[in-house]
């Protein structure tokens, strides 16, 4: 009886009221979810079960943030986050498969099969004794608070919406529904202060504008150019994560142009300059831009189709012009092609990726994709068979097709490899035999037989 009473009181608390209007200073505008475009069928079962589990345990819980925004826009969210008044330890006790992670922001990952729901506790407004660095960036933030405080702590109004799938209601503390309808991105609070608290918000506002096709509110836009230098104070790992999100937003090229437009590239993200302002002759620059546009358009198409993406392949396409330019220069200076390519790769990786904490396995994927490119040219002996069996053959071949489409390689080369991959063994041998007669193909090396060393006869 006591537990039932507690649940009833929880549902009567702010955030469980029905209807419209504000009852108090911290009460949200409440909407019927189905009236603002949310289709419950687009909500994952895992998110529903997480909210239901916490509410049954006597806590308040809502789907929150980008998932609510995307649902209202008629999009199927990629991820679902849940916000609750339960502490991380209490959340962990509710679910059998849950683990507490994080130090700066302590959250819980609740696991349902292959799906992970991120659960965070309502956070309080900034305290006077909150730990910050010299630039105002928050370093530790595990002070829990009320739901209205949690809403005010979120970055943009369109990300501060709370959805209860059980009661089919949306809670709006900062006119996020109105801004969604107006297709406007607006910061909650004073923009300069919010950017100083977390400079990554400047990257996020550009990403959302590109991804959603929204306008940026004037007051939200104004401080970015002046505060862009604060990006250098962001940990490399977070910077890399945000760059990956931008490139996988479905509007990658538009997002990169947005970073440059708002001054978030010079000295902060030199990778953007390398992509949008390539070095070399007019012909080289035109080829580089064509290659990047094709690569990012292909990436956007895969995102919109819900297909998986390789981060290694993505960064390999973005940095290819730098590698190719340095490679050709070194070959012109007399270096052997393979050695020159290896040296060029080392220089580009060391210089361009210094500001991004890219995992070693991703860099390894990039190196392999680049090093495979000259091997496609060699179609004699056993090389084609070994290349076909290579773990990164498909990625290397897709990269080759982009080069061909950008005018950087012969179309006949792509056709040859397409036929070779689909042919049977005998047909492949014939193709290699025919290719060995083409101009520029090295002669197949003859296998040298090892001679058995003669044993010296003992002298008599």
Residue by residue, DSSP assigns 188-224 as SS-HHHHHHH-THHHHHHHHHHHHHTPEEPHHHHTTH
* Helical residues (DSSP H) of 232-319, grouped into ranges: 236-247, 252-261, 270-276, 282-304, 311-318
Q: Of the residues 79, 168, 198, 273, which is catalytic?
A: 79
Residue 161: beta bridge partners?
172
Question: For this structure, is 128 an active site residue?
Answer: no
Q: Which two tokens stand for residue 71?
A: 């649902």
Handedness of CA 135, 354, 364, 306 (dihedral sign): positive
Residue 216: beta bridge partners?
185
Helix (H) or strand (E) holding 107, with range, is strand 107-112
Rg (CA), the chain: 28
Q: Residue 65: which of 146, 151, 126 has the closest Cα?
A: 151
Residue 252 φ/ψ, nearest 5 degrees = -65, -50
Helix (H) or strand (E) holding 169, with range, is strand 169-172
* Spatial separation of the C-alpha atoms in residues 400 and 376, rounded to whole Å: 8
Question: For this structure, is 81 an active site residue?
Answer: yes
Helix (H) or strand (E) holding 402, with range, is helix 393-405
Q: Of the residues 70, 141, 150, 155, which is catalytic?
A: 155
Question: For this structure, is 198 an active site residue?
Answer: no
Contacts of 362 (CB under 8 A, 6+ apart): 311, 312, 315
Q: Of the residues 81, 172, 217, 365, which is catalytic?
A: 81
- Cα angle for residues 171, 219, 145 (degrees, 5° grid): 40
* Spatial separation of the C-alpha atoms in residues 370 and 444, rounded to whole Å: 24
Counts of helices then strands in the chain (DSSP H, E): 22, 10
Q: Residue 290: which of 402, 129, 415 has the closest Cα?
A: 402
* Spatial separation of the C-alpha atoms in residues 288 and 280, rounded to whole Å: 9
Residues that are catalytic: 79, 81, 155
């Amino acid at each position: 009886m006591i537990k039932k009473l507690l649940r009833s009181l929880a549902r009567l608390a702010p955030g469980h009221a029905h209807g419209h209007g504000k009852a108090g200073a911290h009460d949200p505008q409440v909407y019927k979810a189905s009236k603002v475009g949310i289709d419950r069928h687009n909500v994952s079962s895992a998110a529903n079960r997480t909210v239901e589990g916490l509410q049954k345990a006597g806590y308040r819980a809502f789907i929150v943030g980008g998932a609510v925004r995307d649902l209202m826009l008629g999009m199927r969210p990629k991820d679902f986050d849940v916000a609750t008044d339960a502490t991380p330890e209490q959340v962990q006790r509710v679910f059998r498969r849950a683990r507490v992670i994080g130090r700066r922001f302590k959250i819980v990952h609740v696991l349902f099969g292959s799906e992970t729901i991120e659960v965070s506790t309502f956070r309080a407004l900034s305290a006077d004794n909150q730990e910050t660095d010299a630039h105002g960036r928050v370093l530790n933030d595990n002070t829990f608070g009320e739901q209205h405080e949690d809403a005010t702590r979120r970055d943009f109004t369109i990300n501060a919406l709370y959805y209860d799938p059980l009661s089919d209601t949306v809670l709006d503390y900062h006119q996020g529904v109105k801004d969604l309808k107006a297709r406007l991105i607006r910061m909650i609070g004073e923009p300069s202060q919010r950017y100083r608290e977390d400079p990554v918000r400047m990257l996020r506002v550009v990403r959302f504008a590109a991804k959603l096709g929204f306008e940026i509110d004037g007051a939200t836009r104004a401080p970015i150019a002046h505060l862009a230098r604060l990006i250098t104070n962001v940990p490399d790992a977070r910077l890399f994560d945000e760059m990956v999100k931008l490139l996988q937003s479905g509007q990658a090229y538009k997002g990169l142009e947005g970073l440059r437009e708002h001054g978030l590239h010079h000295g902060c993200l030199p990778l953007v300059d390398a992509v949008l302002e390539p070095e070399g002759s007019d012909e080289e620059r035109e080829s580089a831009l064509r290659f990047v546009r094709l690569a990012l358009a292909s990436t956007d198409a895969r995102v919109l189709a819900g297909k998986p993406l390789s981060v290694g392949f993505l960064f390999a396409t973005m940095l290819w012009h730098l590698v190719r330019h340095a490679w050709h220069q070194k070959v012109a200076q007399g270096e052997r092609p393979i050695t020159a390519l290896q040296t060029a790769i080392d220089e580009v990786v060391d210089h361009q990726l210094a500001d991004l904490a890219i995992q070693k396995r991703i860099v390894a994927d990039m190196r392999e994709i680049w090093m495979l490119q000259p091997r496609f040219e060699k179609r004699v002996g056993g090389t084609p068979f070994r290349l076909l069996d290579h773990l990164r053959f498909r990625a290397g071949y897709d990269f080759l097709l982009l080069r061909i489409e950008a005018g950087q390689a012969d179309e006949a080369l792509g056709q040859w490899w397409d036929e070779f991959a689909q042919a049977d063994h005998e047909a492949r041998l014939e193709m290699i035999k025919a290719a060995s007669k083409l101009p520029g193909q090295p002669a197949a090396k003859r296998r040298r037989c090892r001679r058995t060393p003669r044993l010296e006869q003992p002298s008599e």
